[in-house]
Amino acid sequence: MHQKEEILQEDKMATKTYKRTDGRKNDELRSPILAKVGVIPNADGSAMFQIGKTIAIAAVYGPRKMHPQHSQNPEKGTLRCTYNMNSFSVEDRIRPGPSRRSTEISKITEWAIEPVLMIGEYSSQVIDVHINIIQADAGTRCAGINAAAMALAHAGIPMKDLVSSVSVGKMDKTIVLDLDKYEDSEFKEGEGSTDIPITFTHGGEITHIQLDGKINSKQLKETIEMARKAAEEIYEIQKKALKEIGKWKHQISQEIESRNIYK
């Protein structure tokens, strides 16, 4: 078949083959999307991010001196992310403690976030970000990154930009946004499922992309554009949550002022 005809044929099949089980449009994020900042009072910064049935909580501690001393980097600070999926986060209890998967996701989270941090300002110090997935229905690394970015901003760590993360994928030949657990791991028809988590700065730069499955370059471009638009939606939700905490702080300080507590 002529190459152009082949592409047209693919295009025709592209939106018909897969119908989402939850009734979402192909480019629709799961709901609800909830974001809240300041959920762990003892942390220097914290945030919760929920998308559909996936819920992540991030807590930031630091910046503080890195111990042991030989791990200190005198030229820049260290962003240390620890991703953990709680044993009760999925239906069948999972073994607590670190795994290959959690170690990989922790590293990826650091790579996704570090480009927007002014990490050079924190020589010999460490910023710890603990991410806990309390409910998992796919897209947990993205939810964790979204929560972590808000928690870092809440901790007052200077950032060049926020980051927003979303997964996009291909079910056989159909491009879809924000895969749920069935789409991520259980769909097996045709070419099966391809999962592509991507993280963007608000400026639209990609700080992290992973690809698990098969996809051609034309479809990859399409998925990236779909994810970019969705990341903007997520950014607005993160920004609103961060502004909310500003409002509370303002309300609290007005309250203190009106009661003349320190006068």
Which one, 44 or 110, has the nearer CB to ligand ADP?
Answer: 110
- Minimal CA–CA distance to 220: which of 179, 178, 175? 175
Q: Residue 38 or 52: which CB sits closer to ligand ADP?
A: 52
Angle between helices 100-113 and 140-154 (to 10 degrees): 50
**Separation of alpha carbons 57 and 212, rounded Å:** 25
Note whether 90 binds ligand ADP by CB under 6 A: yes
| Distance between CA atoms of residues 192 and 194, nearest Å | 7
139 binds ligand ADP (CB under 6 A): yes
Exposure letters 215-229 (e unless 16+ CB within 10 A, then b): beeebbebbeebbbe
Residue with the CB atom nearest ligand ADP in the bound state: 140
Is 211 a binding residue for ligand ADP by CB under 6 A? The answer is no
| Smallest gap from residue 5 Cβ to ligand ADP (A) | 35
> Which residue in 78, 140, 201, 223 binds ligand ADP (CB under 6 A)?
140
C-alpha–C-alpha distance, residues 82 and 94, integer Å: 17
Question: Contact at 8 Å (CB) between 133 and 56?
Answer: yes
Q: Is 170 in the site for ligand ADP (CB under 6 A)?
A: no
Stretch that binds ligand ADP, among 19-27, 36-44, 132-140, 152-160 (CB under 6 A): 132-140
Q: Enumerate binding residues for ligand ADP (CB under 6 A).
A: 90, 92, 94, 101, 136-141, 181, 184-185, 195
